[in-house]
Amino acid sequence: MGQPQELLCTAVPDRSMSNLNVVILGDPEYAKELGKKGTTSDLTFYNLKKGVHTVTFVEPTRYPERLAPLFYAVSLANKAILVVNQIDQTFGECVIMLHCAGLENGLIIARNYIQKEQIATLIKGTLLESYQFIEDDKNSLRERLLTESSQIKNSCSYPTGTMPVDHYFSVKGVGMVVLGCIVEGVIKKHDELMVLPGNKIAQVRSIQKLDEDFDCAEYGDRTGIALKGLDESDLDRGTVLTSDKSIKSVSTLVAKAKIVKYWQSPMKVGMVLHIGHWMQFVQARIESLRDEEDRYAPELTLKLDKMLVFKPGSKGVLMYPEGSRLRVVGKIELL
């Protein structure tokens, strides 16, 4: 993957830093006025910093023509900003993705004379009902998000940590560097991490957050980690680095799904779907199903085209990228 700009830097002394990850949907030009542009691929990152407090904005660069970037961007975030320039199919799909991904914390900015009441009717029954409507004021928005970031407490005391990889590259004299967001716990310098799926072990050489060296990175941090013991062939987008031994890798899944009410096509044996979890977007074929009681809550047996890595008890997003209209099918339990 391409080498991002924000990790080519000179190290400075360690200090505490808090970070808030925000996905921006609905306007591909909006985030560039909020932060400094960083990594760009099918996702584009922008960084906002004030003192030791930071906000990372992520936009799905190649959405709506591709569904995967929308899922990836939402999965990276712990807050959403939905900019509503028009009410159309893309707006509806973004609403359903945010709902199925379980992203409860968000803001809505209505533009082009669209009324709050119009949007409120359309998001009724989804998690977006709890989102706050705000004015389109970027200066106020920056300050608001930096304040939220400053309220995040850091401790680096959690016993394990997990980070899915979203970008990776090799640096001469350093080795492999991976980028991602910590989804659970803490990763520390010198930790030995499982590289899943597979049986590789990598050691953490160094950790950086926005051009600065740190001894640890914790939940919510967007970070770059230099690793010892890996080369490029050992990595892919979605590779999970973790010290948590409870995390599983499976190639077959028997799980309960919850289909959104807007999805009209029944599930069928042989149908090919995709499961999104962390930075994974895994193809899954339905081998059998049971939906006698409720077709919107079937039990599915799925054969995966590659291993899916997850912590038992979490949830994934079920998608059908080949759909002509809505491509977000629902949620699936990962047990």
Q: Assess whether 189 and 235 both reside in one domain.
A: yes
Q: What is the pLDDT of residue 307?
A: 97
Q: Assess whether 182 and 133 both reside in one domain.
A: no
Asked if residue 231 is part of any domain, the answer here is yes
Is the bond into 60 cis (omega within 30 degrees of 0)?
no
Asked if residue 290 is part of any domain, the answer here is yes
Q: Assess whether 221 and 298 both reside in one domain.
A: no
Cα separation of 225 and 147, whole Å?
A: 27
Q: How many C-alpha atoms does 297 have within 13 Å on its Cβ side?
A: 2
Q: Assess whether 200 and 261 both reside in one domain.
A: no
Q: Which residue has the tokens 């914390």?
A: 105
- 255-300 pLDDT, tens digit per residue, is 999 999 999 888 999 999 999 999 999 999 999 999 878 889 999 9
Q: Assess whether 283 and 197 both reside in one domain.
A: no
Q: What is the pLDDT of residue 11?
A: 37
Alpha helices (H) along the chain: 68-76, 89-100, 116-123, 138-150
Q: Are strands 184-188 and 161-171 parallel, antiparallel or unpaired?
A: antiparallel
Q: Assess whether 108 and 131 both reside in one domain.
A: yes
Asked if residue 11 is part of any domain, the answer here is no
Q: Assess whether 45 and 85 both reside in one domain.
A: yes
Is the bond into 197 cis (omega within 30 degrees of 0)?
yes
Q: Assess whether 111 and 219 both reside in one domain.
A: no
The distance of Cα 183 from the centroid of its chain, to the nearest Å, equals: 9
The total number of structural domains in the chain stands at 3
Identify the domain boundary among 117, 150, 183: 150
Q: Are strands 106-110 and 132-133 parallel, antiparallel or unpaired?
A: parallel
What CATH number has the domain bearing residue 288?
A: 2.40.30.10
Identify the domain boundary among 211, 242, 273: 242
Q: What is the pLDDT of residue 3?
A: 41
DSSP class per residue in 179-213? EEE--EEEEETT-EEEEETTTEEEEEEEEEETTEE
Q: Which domain holds residue 184?
A: 161-242
The answer to whether 163 touches 187, Cβ cutoff 8 Å, is yes
How does pLDDT run along the chain (335 residues), one tens digit per residue? 444 433 333 333 344 678 999 999 999 989 999 999 999 999 999 999 998 899 999 999 999 999 999 999 999 999 999 999 999 999 999 999 999 999 999 999 999 999 999 999 999 999 999 999 999 999 999 999 999 999 988 777 788 999 999 999 998 888 899 999 999 999 999 999 999 999 999 999 999 998 889 999 999 999 999 999 898 999 999 999 999 999 999 999 999 999 999 998 889 999 999 999 999 999 999 999 998 788 899 999 999 999 999 999 999 999 999 987 899 999 999 98
DSSP secondary-structure letter at 107?
E
pTM (2 d.p.): 0.92
Asked if residue 8 is part of any domain, the answer here is no
Q: What is the pLDDT of residue 293?
A: 80
Q: What is the pLDDT of residue 16?
A: 66
Cα separation of 209 and 16, whole Å?
A: 10
Identify the domain boundary among 242, 271, 302: 242
Q: Assess whether 215 and 265 both reside in one domain.
A: no
Asked if residue 70 is part of any domain, the answer here is yes
Asked if residue 6 is part of any domain, the answer here is no
Cα separation of 161 and 184, whole Å?
A: 5
Q: Assess whether 108 and 201 both reside in one domain.
A: no
Q: Assess whether 197 and 278 both reside in one domain.
A: no
Asked if residue 190 is part of any domain, the answer here is yes
Asked if residue 35 is part of any domain, the answer here is yes
DSSP secondary-structure letter at 95?
H
Buried (b) or exposed (e) across 137-148, using 16+ Cβ within 10 A?
A: eeeebbeebbeb
Q: Assess whether 70 and 137 both reside in one domain.
A: yes
Output the CA–CA distances (angstroms, integers) from residue 211 to 2, 170, 188, 244, in the order listed: 17, 17, 17, 27
According to DSSP, the residues that pair with 192 across neighbouring strands are 203
Q: What is the pLDDT of residue 123?
A: 97
